[in-house]
Structure 1
């Protein structure tokens, strides 16, 4: 079991200008939803926009409940995929004294592996972050809880970064997206954003 970590002011993470900084407050996204609805050409497309924003609100509430320190996301129209959604957040995780947890165990505290529906398994690997070095990374598809009763299968990338000088304490940069057919592009995007992570 991991414990929450608070590290305000300890890191920076650059997000694209087109993304929304969710600030994890009580933002309701009404303006963004109205702007995207105005671009939707049909009632079905407007309904899809409304459904997407319901998911966004649920994701933000879930991230806040799990102790996310920052979160930002992309909500946009795409000619081939229809609607694009991506979400990047930073969580704190601490291994309690005396506990021996693997990196996969730590990532499991944030989400659940996808089931046998053919969505794939998690892959544990590594990445090199400028100024930080080699860190652990877990990619794959996962079941992400939106509420206590609702969940969705999403692409997921967790990059687990040890806090310097604090054994057993980590920051986890997590990227998720429901656009499963765009796995390669989304993982490249999450990798690029995570690559901007810096300790202050």
Structure 2
């Protein structure tokens, strides 16, 4: 994942860099359906692809500048994971907490035993100490459709632009795999590097 003149972020070779403007999941849908053996599995695959399309549209609406992800069969089910980089700008004179910054992108889940968020500090190579929010969140996919997802936001200040941040966000609907997914998202975020140049994060 790259944005010319701003940053790079490496994802596993099996992941796809998404075209935020016009991503077509037709090939992925055909490949996943070819691996299914029952109507229920095909319906589950189609539902996963619809969710991926909606998640990508949501990311685009909320200012994503780059995104990548994967959808694969995992035993009898499907594994889906998604990483995007968002630009967030805080208006002059406004002092937002890390949690408030994260809420510009999503909101905590409050039902079904989910909703806990933790705020920690992590050190990224060549970046230094940055804030991170992990937890389960409700992500709005359409005007009347939402989903609870495992989420990790890492908030990286944009050099030389006070109040501007890049937020690396990892998300997945596979809640039982939260710990493993956090490890994956952490590893991907650890590859983040600024590459120089002048890029203004989207507000």
Instruction: Return the offset for 1:8.
Output: 5.0
Instruction: Return the offset for 1:64.
Output: 0.8
- Count how many residue pairs are aligned between Structure 1 and Structure 2: 193
Q: 1:193 aligns with which of 181, 184, 188?
A: 188
Unpaired segments ≥5 residues, structure 1: 1-6
1:144/1:154 contact within 8 Å kept: yes
Question: Does 2:26 align with 1:41?
Answer: no
Q: 2:49 aligns with which of 43, 50, 53?
A: 53
Q: TM-score, normalised by structure 2?
A: 0.92
Q: 2:165 aligns with which of 167, 170, 176?
A: 170
Question: Does 2:1 align with 1:26?
Answer: no
Q: 1:94 aligns with which of 89, 94, 109?
A: 89
Q: TM-score, normalised by structure 1?
A: 0.94
Deviations 1:18-73 (A, max 9, x none): 01111212122101100010001111101100000000000111111111000000
Residue aligned with 1:69, SS: strand
Instruction: Give runs of ≥4 in structure 1 deviating > 4 Å.
Output: none
CA distance in 2, matches of 1:58, 1:98: 34
Q: 2:75 aligns with which of 79, 97, 109?
A: 79
- Residue 4 of structure 1 corresponds to which residue in structure 2? none
Aligned-pair RMSD on alpha carbons? 1.1
Deviations 1:118-161 (A, max 9, x none): 01411000111000001000000000111121110000000000
- Residue 3 of structure 1 corresponds to which residue in structure 2? none
Residue aligned with 1:146, SS: strand
